Every structure is written in C-alpha cells, then in structure tokens.
Chains A and B, each alone.
Chain A
Amino acid sequence: MRRIFFLLLFLQTITAAAQSIVDTPHNLSANGPGSIHAGSETEICIFCHTPHNSSPCAPLWNRNNPGQNYILYQSSTIEAAPGQPDGASILCLSCHDGTIALGAVVSRDHLIEFSGGITVLPTGHANLGSDLSDDHPVSFIYNTSLAAADGELTDPATLNGPVQLDGQKVQCTACHNPHNNIYGNFLVASTHYSDLCMFCHQKNGWNGSLHRVSSASWNGSGNDPWPKSTYQTVAENGCENCHQPHGAGGAERIMRHLPEENNCLDCHAGNVAAKNIQSDLNKSYRHDVFAYTHIHDPEENAVSDIRHVECTDCHNPHVANGTDASAPVASGAIEGVKGVNSQGSAISAIQYEFEICYRCHADSPEKPGGHTSRQFYQTNVRLEFNAGNPSFHPVEASGKNGDVPSLISPLNEASIIYCTDCHASNNSSANGPHGSVYSPILKFRYETADYTSESYQAYELCYQCHDRNTIVNNQSTNFANVVHRKHIVDLQTPCNVCHDPHGVQGSSTNQSHLINFDTSVVSKSTGRQGKLEFIDSGSFTGQCYLYCHGRNHNPKRYI
C-alpha cells in the first residue's frame, strides 16, 4: 500500500514537472534540458522577463524589438489582414526570427553567454527568419465579421478553449504557450486529429470527409508521408497531411509542398491510400498535374481561363468522401468542387460530375482541341452533350434513340453515363480520368485510325456498353449485316469515322445516331448532288452521301 502511495507521489511529480517551463527547451538556463542553453546563467525567466524596467512593459519583457520589416503571409483566399507582427508575436520573434542573440536581455549590460558559442537561434524549424510568408499568419484581427466573411472560421466570440486571442488578434500565442510543452512544440492543445486547428477552422464538409476519418497508414514503401509526425494514420494527422503551419514549402495556404500535386501524392502514390493515383498520372495521356505550378488558384473562375490542371480542380480535399452515386450525380470523391452547369453558368459546388469537366472542356477559351477532324467540328463538350441535340451520349440526359439493341444490361435506352465511364485511367482501381495509355485518357482501347482490323480489343471501349456480337455478328437484320459488319469488319473502318462519341448539334434528320463524319477519312460524294450528308429515314433506315475508301455513295441507302 505504501509502495502504491509513493508511486502515485512519483507520478504526480512527473506530471507536475512536465507542465513546467523548467523541463522544456524554453529553459535556456545552464541547466536547461534542451540542446540550446546558457553557459553559466542559472536564471530561467530572465531570457524573456524582468521584474523591473521591462520593454515593452507587458509582459515584463526583457528583450529588444528586432525592428525587422517582415515579409508577411499572403493568400488569395485570406479574408484577414495580417500586419507587421505585434503583440505577443513580436515578443516571440525577438528570438525566433534569428536576428537577436538569445543572451541579449535588457536587464543585463552584457550578453549572457551560451554554450557551444551559440548567439542567435540556429537555423532550423524554430528559426522563422524574417520571411513569414511561409508561416501561418499572425497579428491580424479575428472578429465575428472576419469569421462571417471567411465562412469557415469559428466565431471568435465562442472561443473558450485553449486557443485564445491576444486582444482581438491572433498571435503566436493563439497556438503556442511558451511556458508549457506538454503537447510538444509548446502548443496549447494537441494536434492529434488536428484538434488544435479546429478550434478556429471549421472547414465545410470536413467532418464527413475521408481525410478526416481515414485510418489508412503508411505501408513503408515510397516516401514517409509524415516525416515530422508521430501519428500513424491519415485521420490522426488531419490538416497536417497537407498543411504545415511553419516553413511551408508552398507558402500560400501553408501547403507542405509548392507543387500542388505533391501534397496529394505524398499519400496517393500507393504508399498510404488504397489507390495509386501517381501511377495513373504517370501514364502517357493524363490530366497533367505536373505541368503546372502555382497557376491553379481556389479563387479562379469556374470557367477556367488559364490552362492548367491540379488535383484540386476536380477534388476538394476537405470534403472528398466515399459516397457512391449514380450518373450523372457526382460521387463523394469529387464533392464540393466548383463547376459549370449545363447552361454554362458557374456553380460553387457541383451536383453532376460533368459539371467539373465543363470548367475546361466547354466554354473555356483555353479548352483543348478535338482529336478528330469532323464534318461538324465542335470542341465545346457542353454543346455536344446538350440534351436538345439530335444525338448525344447520355451524359446530361437519357439518349434520343429509343431503340439501341446493342446495349448490355443493365444499360438501356434510359440510362445515363458519366464522362468517366469512357474517360478514365486504364487498368486502374481509381475511377477518374487521371491518366491512361489510351488517348484521350480513355479507360479502354479505342482505335480511330482508318483500316483498323476489327477485334474486341480494338474497340474495347465501345464494347463495354455496346455488345460486340450485336454490332458486328448479328446478321439477322440488313442494317446489322450491311452497315455495321460491312464497314467495321470488312472495310476496317473504326466506329469513330462515322460516329462522334460526344454528340452532334443539328437536325434530327441529319445528325441523329451521333453521325458526324471524320473528314480525314470521309469526304463529299462526287458527281451531281455531291455532298457529305447522312439522312435519317427512320428505324434502321437511312442514306448517305459521301466518298470513302474509294467508294462513292451518292447516295447509298440502307433499309
């Protein structure tokens, strides 16, 4: 019993000791436990405080103002207005900007000598320098109106936990308590699950996001995603999976890395997250997130006006979750991303997946060109998929053709599909159009070159939904036999030569069935009435005016 009592006494002593500055690296006295300490000075408080003649008065400060002109944090998304460091922050900087010797205190007329010949704070993570642009902003007023303007900040009137303002301002002391190191880095609260960050930051969607709850951990291969953390899972690391409050590689929004994608690929490279996005992004045809740096901006227009692509153009890391959805509704993976709707209007959060694609592939002046020279050339995919068109793949709405016998169940004529049903990484467990060996980021092989020998593999993309047997082997109808089998198999003409896979604007007579000829293969018919035209004559009947493979259809009818 007595032994237990002494054990308790011992434990209590340890707990108490751990909360004292005496046992922290801020004990700069000769007896301090840190690597940086005085040579012989035994007083502890003196490095910061003096009972008399302090400057500034509160909190009895014993150090001079560094008098630096600091480079301040800047961000396109910040609503606050950080000024030159003041309040408690400038006190911290009287050591932590590395300009004033640690032993230079007001109350002594000589420098307190440090062991190892150290004068100013040595270069390292604690030395912030005078460039504060890569550090969480400080010395800004945080009031109710800031919280309202930002929309994702706690109303400071309700801040009653460990995070406290210095007057109305956020200062270093909002996060740090220089006297107490029980949470490490002198933080006022634990960063476990980013508890500390969330006293102020209330990111929309965060509580339901996978990044908030994922128990994924590093499998030991590739880069250690959390070199500065002792936490083992994505959820535990929280904000600091991507953000770094000091010395951030990507200063703006204190991202760990300047190249945006690196913040994601720390984990999405097969080392933490189940799906290896990096391997998809390394394929020949890709949304090339590597090609652009510091061009994407969260504040940019929904209709992209400078060509670029970053992970965060399609994903919102604060919101992304595992919710399944059915076309055309956006799944959880892309929830909370801005987009452009079917009317061409900017929207702050997409409802449908195609609304992301429309940012760059519709009305953007920077949109990529088409891959096929078409009779009716259109690179604005929003116009191609318009539900008012005579024909389109059913991305926005069910298709116009009520009789598509090739469709493989459960698909039917009322089905709607995603852009990503065709445009996605090949041979990947990830759904999105990250990268593929097939141009243009197609999920399966889709040959477009003339005189391609027909096979399941050659048109594997089409045959995912359209039964190959029905298309090329069904000889029960004249249409199937004469039109599809003859052209695709016998004459080795790819699907893409006659069909425009997105959709065609025009008339229901001439532009139904996605007919929009590849003009590198098909040209106008020769002779009288020479023209390039398809005429829909009803179910499985029609005629074509064209010249192709040395043959002149002027017109050629099929019934």
Chain B
Amino acid sequence: MIKFQFTFAVCLLALGTSVALGQNIQGSAHDFSNDNWNTTGQICIVCHTPHNADATVTNAPLWNHATTTATFTTYNSATMQATTGQPDASAKLCLSCHDGTIAVDNYGSQSGGSHFISGGPRIGTDLGNDHPISFTYNSSLASQDGGLHDPSTTNSGLGGTIAEDMLIGGKMQCASCHDVHNGSGFAYLLRKSNAGSALCLTCHDK
C-alpha cells in the first residue's frame, strides 16, 4: 500500500511537471518590445490595449491590432470529415499578422505600417497547405472521422480534456497548438512538446 501511494505521488509529480508553466512571452518570438518599429517599448500593446480595444472582432481580447479582411483559401481533403469555414475567432487575430496582408506595426492608432511578416512565419492567405482551423471538433466529428480522439473524454496532457484545454468555443484554432504567449516555452510556441509527435497525437488517433 505504501508502494502504491508512492507511485501515485510520483504520477502526480510527473503530471505537475508536465503542466508547469516555465516560460512567458518575455524574450519569446512574440516579444517585440525591442523591435525598432515598436516605439512603445511594450510587449502586450502590439496586440492588446486596456482601453479602446477593437470590440468588433469576436473573441478578440482587448484587441489592438489592425485585423485582416483577407478571404482565405481553406484546407480541403477528401479524407477530412470536419467542415472548415473562413478563419474565425482567435485564428483571425493570429492571421492579422501571419497572413502577411497587415503590417505588424499596424497596432493602436497606427496605420500604414511597413513591417510585414516574412519567411516561415508567413502563412499567407492560402491556408490550403496548412492544418485546418476554425472547425468544430466534437465527439461526433471524432466518431465520424475514426482517426480522432473524442475531445470531450480524451486527456489533453495539459490538465483536462482536449475540449477543455485546446479548443476555443468547441473549435480547433491556431491556439489549439500554439500558445501565442509562449506559456510553455516549446519551439514554435507550441502548447506542449512535440517530441514523439506528442502534440499531433493528442488529437490524432493514429
């Protein structure tokens, strides 16, 4: 019995370690406080403002950045059961820099910025070659697809279920994989380590 308790304690410890948040946005790829185009020297302000936020974008927390109006080409596949639409909610916020149509420095009252994202981080407006986003991922989809775990019952490895930890409004979004604030400190601002493709296999039952 003592042994059992010990094992249990080790498990809890391991769980605690895996969800520990050891990093933050400071010094991450999203910390623009030292970029020459950011005259404020602040971090949050490129995306957020405490006042006069753009509340016209849904699910945009105190949004302070120009928002993309691009029409996106969405991912399509014969083997995909999910129904994707135009990027919505927080995905649209990510794309407001990452689609390359809006300057990174178009935040606050500034417009006419000249710093556009480039290289690998530039997703573009063609999302056909990117993992689908902005689709409802629920038990029914998992059952229909057969290659996805049930988000309402499957542990995300982040403390709760996939639905609780990784979906936003029941949808898969950019933020399902990426922690824009770098809470975990993994490469590519991933929500969790992808060693052993652990992030992919959180949802994909392959």
Contact = CB atoms under 8 A, between A and B. Distances in A.
A43 B206 contact: no
B82 to A, nearest CB: 12
Interface string A170-200: 0000000001100000000000000000000
B195 interface: yes
Interface stretch (B7-15, B18-26, B46-54, B73-81): B73-81
Given A21-B206, A51-B177, A57 B200 contact: no
Interface stretch (B108-116, B126-134, B136-144): B126-134
A52 B124 CA distance: 10
B78 A52 contact: no
B72 to A, nearest CB: 13
B197 interface: yes
A306 B123 CA distance: 64
A212 to B, nearest CB: 31
Contact of B201 (A20, A31, A54, A55): A20
B120 to A, nearest CB: 8
A44 B130 CA distance: 18
B76 A57 contact: yes
Nearest to A165: B78
A60 B200 CA distance: 12
Contact of A20 (B76, B120, B131, B206): B206
Interface string A59-73: 110000000000000
Interface in B168-197: 177, 194-197
B206 to A, nearest CB: 4
A53 B129 contact: yes
A92 interface: no
Interface in A435-480: none
Contacts of A60: 75, 129-131
A29 B196 contact: yes
B197 A43 contact: yes
B129 A54 contact: yes
A45 interface: yes
Interface in A297-347: none
A49 B201 CA distance: 12
Contacts of B204: 45
A46 interface: yes
Contact of A51 (B131, B147, B195): B131
Nearest to A167: B78
Interface size classification for chain A: 20 to 34
A491 to B, nearest CB: 85
A46 B76 contact: no
A58 B196 contact: no
B75 A57 contact: yes
Contacts, number: 64
B171 to A, nearest CB: 16
A58 B195 contact: no
A118 interface: no
Interface string B52-78: 000000000000000000000001111
Given A20-B206, A52-B131, A58 B197 contact: no
Given A44-B197, A45-B200, A49-B200, A58 B123 contact: no
A29 to B, nearest CB: 6
Given A51-B177, A179-B147, A166 B78 contact: yes
A58 B177 CA distance: 19
B131 A44 contact: no
A142 B120 CA distance: 40
A42 interface: yes
Nearest to B147: A179
A195 B128 CA distance: 37
A46 to B, nearest CB: 7
Contacts of A42: 195-196
B196 A31 contact: yes
Contact of A29 (B78, B147, B177, B197): B197
A88 to B, nearest CB: 9
Nearest to A59: B77
A397 interface: no
A416 interface: no
B78 to A, nearest CB: 6
A22 interface: yes
Given A20-B206, A51-B177, A60-B129, A44 B76 contact: no
A49 B204 CA distance: 12
B129 A45 contact: no
A60 B77 CA distance: 9
B129 A57 contact: yes
Contact of A58 (B79, B147, B194, B200): B79
B165 to A, nearest CB: 18
A521 B206 CA distance: 82
A370 to B, nearest CB: 64
A399 to B, nearest CB: 67
**Most A CB atoms within 10 A — which of B79, B120, B129?**
B129
B129 A52 contact: yes
A52 B80 contact: no
A46 B177 contact: no
B40 to A, nearest CB: 30
A57 B201 CA distance: 20
A59 B196 contact: no
A56 B129 CA distance: 7
Given A51-B130, A52-B130, A43 B194 contact: yes
Nearest to B178: A51
Nearest to A20: B206
Contacts of B205: 19-20
Interface string A21-57: 1100000010100000000001111100101111111
Given A42-B196, A51-B131, A58 B76 contact: yes
Which 10 pairs, one residue from A and one from B, show the smallest C-beta to C-beta distance? Answer: A58-B77, A44-B197, A179-B206, A51-B131, A57-B128, A45-B197, A54-B129, A42-B195, A57-B129, A45-B200
Interface of B: 75-80, 120, 123, 128-131, 147, 177, 194-197, 200-201, 204-206
Interface of A: 19-22, 29, 31, 42-46, 49, 51-60, 166-167, 179-180
8 contacts: A19-B205, A55-B129, A56-B129, A57-B76, A58-B76, A60-B129, A60-B130, A179-B147
